[in-house]
Chain A
Amino acid sequence: MLFALPKNNNNTQQKHEEFQREAVPHMDILYNYALRLTGNPEDANDLLQETYLKAYRFWDKFEKGTNCRAWLFRIMRNSYINRYRKAVKTPEHVDYDEIKEFYNTIREQSTDANDLSERLFGQLLDDQVATAITDIPEEFRTVVILCDIEGFTYEEAAEFVDCPIGTIRSRLHRGRKLLRDKLFKYAHERGYEVKDK
């Protein structure tokens, strides 16, 4: 029989198996991050695909035994930033006084959280909330997604973003303020009637 001599090489198979075992199970969490980051399923799909391909290509660079999810996450975030760099807007000036004044008024009438939430954000649709999230600058958006939507601790988020915990805290602080302002504006632009007297 005319067979070529074997080359003893088990890297590819081993790599594939490792990748299947360690990287593929995090697909859902990455998909959700992509969805919140881009705000639409098409871009999220592309971003997810790009992330996994890069991850596979650079699997040798992944330090075994470290946090694979955080590694994948950083690849996705960098891909996103590179791809949409041009679209990044400088953060607009935000005036928080409007919502604070409004809240002060309704807070005197009610102490019930559901009632207050309803009056603040009204009947915003899920899509509008998703849009509000994509409207805040990426550095704040990412931290809000990680901590408030995905429920990661500051420590975990710090590993994902590769920054100190104090940075997570301050970005979260500002991110929530930016977001609540957007949500409030959306809710009230929509013509949601608020009678505060």
Chain B
Amino acid sequence: MNECKKIQQFITDAVDNRLKEADKEFFQSHISKCHSCRNDYELDVLTKDFVKTKISRQTTPHEIASRIKQDIDKHVAQEQRTRGVFAQYPLARAAVIAMLVFGIAFVLYFLNSPDIQNTVQAADMMDKSIENYGLFLAGTIQPQQIGQNVDELRDYFQERVEFPVALKPVKDCEWVGGVLSDYDGLSLAHLVYKLPGGIVYVYQTNWNAVLEGDKISLSNGAVTSLNQTGWYVNGTHDEYSVVMWLYNDETVCTAVSSMEKDQLRQMFAEDTQE
């Protein structure tokens, strides 16, 4: 009987194949002659196996998983509202600074060549965009308004700018930030989308003001392309892509990102059809 008591302590390990070698034989020989202990052991094995076959593994319902993701994103956005937002990409920042140095060298080089004076002057809005993209990455510019999606920025822009601001929803966007600035009397709208792989910066201003060209201007090629197709995709940068388009014929937008330019263009493609 004392043996049965000892066996009871081994049952759970036996069911789970955890018996020590030294105890296995003792256990086996006991249950081969003691039906009560054998039955206890077998009942546990049967229960364990039965439960396992009846309870199937579920995956988290999609809506729950995305609701949780949204909850967390909301928290992130709140934290970012209270803390600073940027300066979290030290490597990217170094890369952008390097690009800007090259960019300035490039500009200086062509400034000395009168034949393409036009190109240099016309690149202004594009240069500004690239420069701002770098400033966003470096944390020098911060959004004043942050939302989970573009709809949360609508009021912010609507009350403050005279041109329609393109607020295109972007898939998988973690949060979106906006800020306005004034450039010698001309309003500029800046949007920044935070995506899993990095940021997309969009610079927007009044198209007519750009056509007048006294504050911000564009190259003839870009103007022609925008007038004819609504788009201008610049292909000269390797480290980042720049895509320009017109929104509602009143606003000119420039997006800058490290993603492929086709992908970047795709992201804002519907805006021209509105």
The judgment on whether A and B are partners is yes
Interface string of A91-135 (1 = CB under 8 A from B): 000000001100110010000010011001100101001100100
Name which of A68-76, A82-90, A147-155, A188-196 contacts chain B.
Answer: A147-155
A113 and B18 form a contact (CB under 8 A)? no
B49 and A100 form a contact (CB under 8 A)? no
Q: Which of B46, B90, B140 is close to A120, meaning CB atoms less than 8 Å apart?
A: B46
B51 and A126 form a contact (CB under 8 A)? no
Q: Which of A2, A103, A179, A183 is close to B39, meaning CB atoms less than 8 Å apart?
A: A103
B114: chain A residues at CB < 8 Å are none
Contact A56/B86 with A32-B58, A133-B55, A173-B11 known, Cβ cut-off 8 Å: no
Interfacial residues of chain B within 94-124, with CB under 8 A of chain A in the complex: none
Is B16 interfacial (CB-CB < 8 Å)? yes
Interface string of A30-46 (1 = CB under 8 A from B): 01100110000100010
A27 and B57 form a contact (CB under 8 A)? no
Considering the chains assembled together, what is the distance between the CA atoms of A5 and B140 in angstroms? 6
Considering the chains assembled together, what is the distance between the CA atoms of A116 and B179 in angstroms? 71
B182 and A28 form a contact (CB under 8 A)? no
Considering the chains assembled together, what is the distance between the CA atoms of A1 and B48 in angstroms? 69
Interface string of B62-92 (1 = CB under 8 A from A): 0011011101100110011001111110100
Count: A-B pairs, CB below 8 Å: 161
A1: chain B residues at CB < 8 Å are 141, 181-183, 188
B139 and A6 form a contact (CB under 8 A)? yes
Considering the chains assembled together, what is the distance between the CA atoms of A17 and B135 in angstroms? 22
Is A158 interfacial (CB-CB < 8 Å)? no
Considering the chains assembled together, what is the distance between the CA atoms of A28 and B64 in angstroms? 11
Closest-CB distance, B192 to chain A (whole angstroms): 13
Q: Count A interface residues, CB 8 Å.
A: 60
B140: chain A residues at CB < 8 Å are 3, 5-6
Give the residue name and chain of the B residue nearest to A116 (CB).
B46
A28: chain B residues at CB < 8 Å are 57-60
Closest-CB distance, A121 to chain B (whole angstroms): 5
Considering the chains assembled together, what is the distance between the CA atoms of A57 and B71 in angstroms? 11
Contact A9/B84 with A52-B71, A149-B55 known, Cβ cut-off 8 Å: yes
A100 and B43 form a contact (CB under 8 A)? yes
Is B6 interfacial (CB-CB < 8 Å)? no
Considering the chains assembled together, what is the distance between the CA atoms of A36 and B46 in angstroms? 20
B51: chain A residues at CB < 8 Å are 129, 133, 144, 148-149, 179, 183
B88: chain A residues at CB < 8 Å are 9-10, 12-14
Q: Which of A12, A32, A48 is close to B76, meaning CB atoms less than 8 Å apart?
A: A12
Interfacial residues of chain B within 1-54, with CB under 8 A of chain A in the complex: 11-13, 15-16, 18, 35-36, 39-40, 42-52, 54
Write the residues of chain A forming the contact surface with B, with a CB cutoff of 8 angstroms. 1-14, 16, 19, 24, 27-28, 31-32, 35-36, 41, 45, 48-49, 52-53, 56-57, 99-100, 103-104, 107, 113, 116-117, 120-121, 124, 126, 129-130, 133, 144, 147-149, 154, 169-170, 172-173, 176-177, 179-180, 183
Write the residues of chain B forming the contact surface with A, with a CB cutoff of 8 angstroms. 11-13, 15-16, 18, 35-36, 39-40, 42-52, 54-61, 64-65, 67-69, 71-72, 75-76, 79-80, 83-88, 90, 135, 138-142, 144, 174, 179, 181-183, 188
What 12 new A-B contacts, CB under 8 Å, besides A1-B183, A3-B181, A183-B47? Answer: A1-B188, A9-B83, A12-B88, A28-B58, A53-B72, A56-B72, A103-B43, A107-B42, A180-B43, A180-B47, A183-B50, A183-B51
